[in-house]
Structure 1
Amino acid sequence: MEFRTPIKEARGLGASHHGASHWWVQRLSAIAMVPLMLWLVVGLAANSGASYAEAAAWLGGPINSVVMVVMFGVLFYHASLGLQVILEDYVSHKGVRLGLVIAVRFLAVVLAVSAIIAVLSIALGG
């Protein structure tokens, strides 16, 4: 059963499927965030009454610091994807939308790098 009109087939219009990979990556990053956030909540609960030195020692462990770095990377990537979808849906002017998407990506990279540097400085004893 064909739902296209002859004029649509002649023009080649229809779904371009360019958003499918964006959708999949956003869903996969959301799935990855579930165990990472559970790990973070458990770690914060376990260290809720700890001193700074004890919390820094916990974060300085090799597994905890690697998981925290991965968490920040996935978190900011997922957030930038979600904000991009919101901007593409609700900002109608193409130039403004492009500028905002670039600004969101830049801010996500800056925040992710800052968070990762902070974790590595604690983990490496700096």
Structure 2
Amino acid sequence: MSMRTPLGRVRGLGSAHDGTHHFWQKRVTSVALVPLTLIVVGVVIAIPGRSHADAVALLGHPLVAIALLATLLAGIHHMHLGMQVVIEDYIHTEPTKTALVLANTFFCALMAIACVWAVVKLSFGI
């Protein structure tokens, strides 16, 4: 029998004391991705029929580049959080779990760097 009150057990946040932060990050990124994805889909729908120069000019516009970058980074962060949960829930051997969490982190970091580089290159014409 626990001496803690129900509220005390809820505020404990589990053994890592970090559960709600991860939970809220996933929820915030999913809510942010809804309008961002709609904006990016609208931009992608506007591209067909344009010349290459017009398409590059559209994608290089500062507002479009910011929306594209925000969508990509929020999506990558959301993917990182989701894959981490899957790895932690379904991989039971510690060395394998640690290796996969590290691989997930490095892969997501590499994807974020590649996306930032691509959008900056497109936006500034480097």
Q: Which amino acid letter does the alignment assign opposite residue 121 of structure 2? A: S
Runs (4+) of structure 1 moved beyond 3 Å?
A: 13-17
| CA displacement, residues 67-89 of structure 1 (integer Å, 9 cap, x when unaligned) | 11111111101100000000011
Cα offset for 1:99? 1.0
2:70 maps to which residue?
70
Cα offset for 1:98? 1.2
1:34 maps to which residue?
34
Q: Which amino acid letter does the alignment assign opposite residue 59 of structure 1? A: L
Counterpart-to-counterpart distance in 2, 1:51 and 1:103: 40
RMSD of the alignment, in Å?
Answer: 1.8
2:115 maps to which residue?
115
1:81 maps to which residue?
81
Pick the structure with greater CA Rg: 1
Cα offset for 1:50? 2.2
Counterpart-to-counterpart distance in 2, 1:48 and 1:112: 26
Q: Which amino acid letter does the alignment assign opposite residue 91 of structure 1? A: I
| CA displacement, residues 12-66 of structure 1 (integer Å, 9 cap, x when unaligned) | x983342111011000000010011001111111112223221110011111111
1:56 maps to which residue?
56
TM-score by length of 2: 0.85
1:46 maps to which residue?
46
Counterpart-to-counterpart distance in 1, 2:49 and 2:106: 36
1:24 maps to which residue?
24
**Structure 2 unmatched ranges of 5 or more:** none
- Identical pairs, percent: 32
TM-score by length of 1: 0.85
1:124 maps to which residue?
124
Count, aligned residues: 118
Counterpart-to-counterpart distance in 1, 2:32 and 2:76: 12
Counterpart-to-counterpart distance in 1, 2:55 and 2:123: 11
Q: Which amino acid letter does the alignment assign opposite residue 45 of structure 2? A: A
